[in-house]
Each structure stands twice: as structure tokens, then as C-alpha cells.
Structure 1
Amino acid sequence: MINYNGNLTDNTNLTLEQNRGFLYGDAVFETLKVIDGKILFAEDHYFRLMASMRIIRMEIPMYFTMEYMEEQVKALTENLEISASARARVTFFRKRGGLYLPTTNDAEFIITAEAIAEPLYSLNEDTYEVDLFKDFYVTKQLLSTLKTTNKMVQITGSIFAYENGLNNCLLINDDKNVIEALQGNIFMLKGNKLVTPPITDGCLNGIMRKQILSIARKTEGIEVSEESISPFDLQKADEIFITNVIKGIQPITKYRKKEYGNALASELIKKLNVLIRLG
């Protein structure tokens, strides 16, 4: 069961060979975490989705308000009988027609959802090893900061990680600076200074990135900075962790020969869960 343009259905009757999301990656999406029918950080997700659609010249349906998005996600999770926590995805794609130049900028959407185990975030203390993925890089441009369906760097990087027994890989931009992990933003702690790459370096404008920056800036004894991170900087860090909406915070335990702690990551997860309960 999915939600297609506001209708719950088992079959969209879309023809794959004419779908622009399939043919050209002409689509943007949001991955949402839903707890008890409520989307976490719904406003941030909604406005990022709307901004992404505007940037790629996709027409936003007048009826697609934030309240409408929340209603449609809730209707789907209830129909699927997901009572606790869900991972949902809202994907907008331009209607069929045209080649690189579309015949219309009107868009359609699909919402999918599946149950996930843990409503709140928890600290994963298992070994989590990463390395750089250097076969391809992410360009420093506005499109790199959006969640589009053009994800070949992340796909080939994921295959590289699997083939090399890694839990994840770190991506670099055309300046050879580290900008993010395969499926999340990256933070690095050195001493009392917490650093994450700026959006201008080409990293995803992450929703959880925004939450962690806000929480960290209110944490006593922590200096927060958005600045470029070189591969050499990673070797001098005390902690490195990855953030995304589904997992929350994932500490990295090993990069090459360097091993890391997770004290700040643990503290931030607790504060993140408090924020969710209050919300």
C-alpha cells in the first residue's frame, strides 16, 4: 500500500518507461521518521522539500501544505497498521513528457512507509569503521545539497564499503575536503570544538544536522563551528559521528588506524530524545 497523489492504492499504474524520476533522476525526496503518527521535525522537512522543488523549477501543488503532508503520511501509516515508529518517504517527480527538457513542470508524489524498531534514538556502541571513498567526488554546488534521486556517488560508495568490509565511507568534494558520509552528515570533535562542514562545501543540508547544531550550541563547554574538514583533520579528532533523521547519531569508532570515543555523541543523543519528548 502506498499513497499516490493523496490516494491510498496498491497500484499507481505508472509506466516506468515514461517516468522522469526513473529516466532522468528528475525527482526529489524526503525521508521522514514518524513516531505515533507524528513526523519528527515536520516543518524542517516540509520547507526543505519545497525549497528543493523550487530550485529545480518543479511546480508545487497549491494543496500540498505542511498539514496536508502530515495528514497523508499519517493516513498511510494508519492504513499499514504501523502503531509505533515508521520510516516514510515522500518523493516528488515531474510528470511524464519530454527528454532533458520536460514538457511540463507539474509534479506528482508518492509516499511509502515501513515500520522500524526503535521510536527514540539510542547509542550504537558496536565497531563502526569508515574510510574515504575517493573514486568519485561531490561537487561544490547547490544541487549537491538537495535530496534528489541522482545518487550514483552514494551507490558506488556503498558497494565499495561492502566490498572492503567497512560500515560506511566518507565522501570528499572537488577540493578534496571531507563533506559527509554516504547517508548522513559528519561531525568532528577535537578538544572542545565541534566542527561540521558548511553547506557551501557541497554537503547535504541535513535535517538532523540542523538539530545537532542547535543542541550543541546550547551545550556548555562546546564550541561549534561550520568549517571545511580535511582528511588530515580526521586523524587528530577525538570523536567523529554521522547524523541522519532515521538513525539519529552514529559514532565512528575507527578510521584507518585511529580509534575514537563517543562521550559527546552519547550526551547529544540524550538531549535529542528529550527534545523529541517535549515536542
Structure 2
Amino acid sequence: MVNFSGKIISKDSLYLNHLNRGLRYGDALFESIRVINGRIAFWEDHYLRLMASMRIMRMNIPMSFTMEFLESQITATVDGNGLTDGFSRVRLTVFRNNGGLYLPQDNDVSYVIEANVLANGRFRIDGSSYEVELFKDFFINADMLSTLKTNNKAINVVGSIYAKENGYDNCILLNGSKQVVEALNGNVFLIKGKTVKTPPKKDGCLNGIVRKKLIAIIDKHEELILEETSISPFELQKADELFVTNSIIGIQPVTKYRKKEYHSTVATKLLDELNKIAKED
């Protein structure tokens, strides 16, 4: 079952057509959200990011799009899929309504909410190998649009195919200045000694929810020093740890990049802190 602008319908229903602007132009935004036993993790952060992104994209925000309303629509979708007492991955997509070419007829929007089973309620590190490589065929623009979670994900799609074809679990994306920006599916953190580095948003990285939470955790940590700063690819092989973050996996430690192998001591400790605030949020 999916939720199409407030109506719970079969996922097989033909509720979108060839005129959909998300399909034609990538004129859409989305949020990937964890729901645990009916409770939406980090919901306020997801909601505020979506509202800010809609303003940047010059979408009209309906008066009904309150935090409480969208929460109720997510809950109804989870219930409709029989996942109330369990773990689910929800995708909330907002797209501009049909009409126009590049220039839309108007800026009104519709939305779709999907819910699927999620294996775990807590963020976990399973200890499996996880190898990454640089993806250098295409680059991310270092601008504000790159920080938004839009449907314009061609580089992520092509990069994912490249990773699969070459036996990598993920790839690191670069911007036009050849600086590390993010992974194919999340933000990147690098640890060297007591210093934790993550690329700044001005370099083009996604304004990630878990990125934001980890920055707050590390800022308060007595033994760690946070730096939001540009990262050269050469720093990757000098790091002690490297990990990827997003709202679904939490923290995914990288175990290997080229000839460099990493441990995950700090990542494991940070994951414990992340699980605590996820529970308290």
C-alpha cells in the first residue's frame, strides 16, 4: 500500500503518469525515514529539512503540510502496510504537479509515501568487510542544490553500477575541485587520531540528518575534535577510520580503500551515542 496525497491505495495502482514532473525533470524531493514501532526517528529534523528544501526549489508549501499532518500520513501508511509493530523504511516524496516544460504551470505539489520492512530497529555495525573506491567519471557541483535530497541522482545511479561492476561496496564522490564530498548513499566522516573530519556543505555534500546528529555528538565529545573542512583524496589513505552515514544505516564503517585497511573503534562508540539520541528524540 502507498499513500498518494492522503489516499491509501494499492502499490499496483496507476496513480502517476508520463506527465509526472519528478519523472520528466527530476522535479521532486524525498526523505528516507526510519519508523520504529510506529515512532518516526528524527522526524523534526526530516520535516524541517523538507520544508527548507521546498522553499529553495520554489515549491508552494500547502497550508496542510504541518509537522503533525505529515506525521499522521506517514503513520497511516505504515499502518496500511501492517508495520505498526515493527521496523519500516519510509520514503516521502514531494513533487511539483503536472504541467509545463522546464517552466512549470504552477508550483503546487503532491506527495507519495511508501513503507517497506526494515530489518533492525537499532543502528548496528555487523563487522562485515566494506570496500570503497573513488568514482571519478563525473563530479558533484559545489552548490546549494547539491545539498538537497532531490530526485536528480544520475551520478549516484551510474556510480552504483560502477561499484557493482568492479566489486566495491560503495564509492566516494568528488566535486569539481577534486575534493571528497560524500559516498554514493550518504555522508563521509574521516578519523585521524582525535580529529574527526567531514566535508562542509559548501563543498556540495548532502545536508544529511545523521551527519547533523553526529556533528552535535562529536562537538560535545571531550576526546574528539570536529573539523568541517575540505578533504583531499590523499587523506583517505592516511586516516585511522572512515565511515559513511545516512538515516537508514546510521554508521557504516569502511574496512578498505585501495591498500589501506581501517578499524572502527570510534565509529562503534559514536553509534552507541547515535542510538541513544534516536531513542530519546
Q: Is this a same-fold pair by TM over 0.5? A: yes
Asked whether 1:194 is paired with 2:204, we answer no
TM-score (norm 1): 0.98
Deviations 1:160-210 (A, max 9, x none): 000000000000001000110000000000010000000000000000000
- 2:21 corresponds to which letter in structure 1? R
Deviations 1:123-158 (A, max 9, x none): 121110000000000000110000110100000000
- Determine the structure 1 residue equivalent to 2:279: 277
- Is residue 4–residue 15 contact of structure 2 (8 Å, CA) maintained in 1? no
- 1:188 corresponds to which letter in structure 2? L
TM-score (norm 2): 0.97
Q: Following TM superposition, by how much is the alpha carbon of 1:27 offset from its aligned partner in structure 2, in angstroms?
A: 0.5
- Determine the structure 1 residue equivalent to 2:8: 8
Deviations 1:245-268 (A, max 9, x none): 100000000000001110000001
- Is residue 85–residue 116 contact of structure 1 (8 Å, CA) maintained in 2? yes
- Determine the structure 2 residue equivalent to 1:43: 44
- Determine the structure 2 residue equivalent to 1:162: 164
Q: CA separation in 2, counterparts of 1:147 and 1:91? A: 10
Q: CA separation in 1, counterparts of 2:21 and 2:212? A: 31
- Is residue 4–residue 12 contact of structure 1 (8 Å, CA) maintained in 2? no
Deviations 1:15-73 (A, max 9, x none): 42111110111101111011111111111100110111111111111101111111111
Asked whether 1:23 is paired with 2:24, we answer yes
- Is residue 131–residue 255 contact of structure 1 (8 Å, CA) maintained in 2? yes
Q: CA separation in 2, counterparts of 1:272 and 1:96? A: 40
Q: Following TM superposition, by how much is the alpha carbon of 1:97 offset from its aligned partner in structure 2, in angstroms?
A: 0.5
SS of 2:18's partner is helix
Give 5+ residue unaligned stretches, structure 1: none
Q: CA separation in 2, counterparts of 1:274 and 1:42? A: 15
- Determine the structure 1 residue equivalent to 2:62: 61
- Determine the structure 2 residue equivalent to 1:92: 94
State, as a whole percentage, how many aligned pairs show the same letter.
51
Asked whether 1:241 is paired with 2:243, we answer yes
Q: Following TM superposition, by how much is the alpha carbon of 1:12 offset from its aligned partner in structure 2, in angstroms?
A: 5.6
- 1:14 corresponds to which letter in structure 2? Y
Aligned residues: 279
- 2:4 corresponds to which letter in structure 1? Y
SS of 1:16's partner is coil
- 2:129 corresponds to which letter in structure 1? T
Q: CA separation in 1, counterparts of 2:229 and 2:18? A: 43
SS of 1:18's partner is coil
Q: Following TM superposition, by how much is the alpha carbon of 1:9 offset from its aligned partner in structure 2, in angstroms?
A: 1.2
Q: Following TM superposition, by how much is the alpha carbon of 1:271 offset from its aligned partner in structure 2, in angstroms?
A: 1.1
